[in-house]
């Protein structure tokens, strides 16, 4: 069972966000500074936010795996549990599957169809931050194909939203590798929401975390207006 944290502010219910943290073997957990910056950001937008510690991390059962496939299954279970228990205030909610670093690999594999009940008319949006392209082979013990295919399938699915954000001085993926990858992604989805920031992999400063939040997607407000997700909720 994952160490699970569900957070909401009064009036929340227009959307649900589930965040997967960086790799546990190198200290990643739900208290990672970038994860917490995302939590603050989305809470201010009337979004239910769920974080959790993956298997073998910070009180969660099990052991960290070598291929990350079990962690993907864990995130799938967390998302389904969160959907079942979220209190919604709209018939057209948004579900954000968010992953930072290794968590981006996990988030890209989560699938929520067919959605029923309160989620029957939901919008699904994936947010992949600092996708660990250069070390994907290492994090997955040479099982990269599963993650390549999962992301390609998302890109081909016009019914889901997808935002990708990475830095051009990432310690684990060279700028040229990211540029070539981005070019491939855009061949599958020419309208892809992809952002290259002047940042490294860790987004350690408040300024970089604000820049990261500035690249997040917009949600549709109940009155039909586009609501800027980064207009409030910033940390300083």
Instruction: Give the span between the Cα atoms of 104 and 166, in whole angstroms.
Output: 11
Per the prediction, the chain carries an average pLDDT of: 89
Instruction: Give the span between the Cα atoms of 98 and 125, in whole angstroms.
Output: 8
- Nearest of 58, 81, 59, 55 to residue 68 by alpha carbon: 55
Give me 87's structure tokens.
């209190």
Give me 155's structure tokens.
């890109």
pLDDT of 220 > 70? The answer is no
Percent of the chain with pLDDT over 90: 77
Q: Which residues have CB under 8 Å from 129's CB, separation 6+?
A: 34, 98, 99, 100, 101, 104, 164, 165, 166, 212
Contact (CB, 8 A) for 172 and 203: no
- Mean pLDDT within 179-205: 97
What domains can you pick out in the chain, each with its CATH number? 3-220 (3.40.50.1820)
What digits encode the pLDDT tens for the residues 159-179?
999 999 999 999 999 999 999
- Mean pLDDT within 60-65: 81
Instruction: Give the span between the Cα atoms of 226 and 221, in whole angstroms.
Output: 6
pLDDT of 221 > 70? The answer is no
**Global pTM?**
0.90
pLDDT of 233 > 70? The answer is no
What pLDDT does 219 receive? 56
- CA 108 vs. chain centroid, Å, equals 8
pLDDT of 119 > 50? The answer is yes
What pLDDT does 228 receive? 44
Give me the phi and psi of 48, to 5 degrees please.
-70, 130
């Amino acid at each position: 069972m994952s160490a699970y944290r569900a957070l909401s502010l009064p009036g929340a219910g227009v959307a649900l966000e589930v965040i997967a943290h960086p790799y546990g073997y190198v200290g990643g957990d739900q208290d990672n500074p970038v994860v917490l910056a995302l939590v603050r950001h989305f809470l201010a937008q009337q979004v239910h936010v769920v974080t959790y510690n993956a298997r073998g991390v910070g009180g969660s059962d099990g052991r960290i795996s070598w291929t990350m496939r079990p962690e993907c299954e864990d995130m799938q279970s967390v998302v389904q549990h969160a959907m079942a228990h979220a209190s919604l205030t709209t018939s057209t909610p948004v579900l954000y599957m968010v992953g930072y670093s290794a968590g981006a690999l996990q988030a890209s594999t989560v699938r929520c169809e067919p959605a029923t009940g309160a989620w029957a008319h939901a919008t699904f949006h994936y947010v992949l931050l600092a996708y660990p392209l250069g070390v994907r082979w290492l994090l997955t013990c040479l099982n990269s194909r599963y993650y390549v295919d999962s992301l390609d399938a998302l890109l081909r699915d016009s019914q889901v939203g997808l935002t990708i954000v990475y830095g051009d001085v990432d310690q684990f993926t060279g700028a040229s590798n990211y540029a070539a990858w981005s070019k491939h992604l855009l061949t599958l989805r020419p309208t892809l929401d992809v952002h290259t920031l002047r940042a490294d992999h860790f987004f350690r400063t408040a300024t970089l975390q604000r820049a990261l939040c500035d690249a997040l997607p917009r949600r549709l407000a109940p009155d039909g207006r586009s609501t800027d997700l980064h207009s409030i909720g910033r940390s300083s």
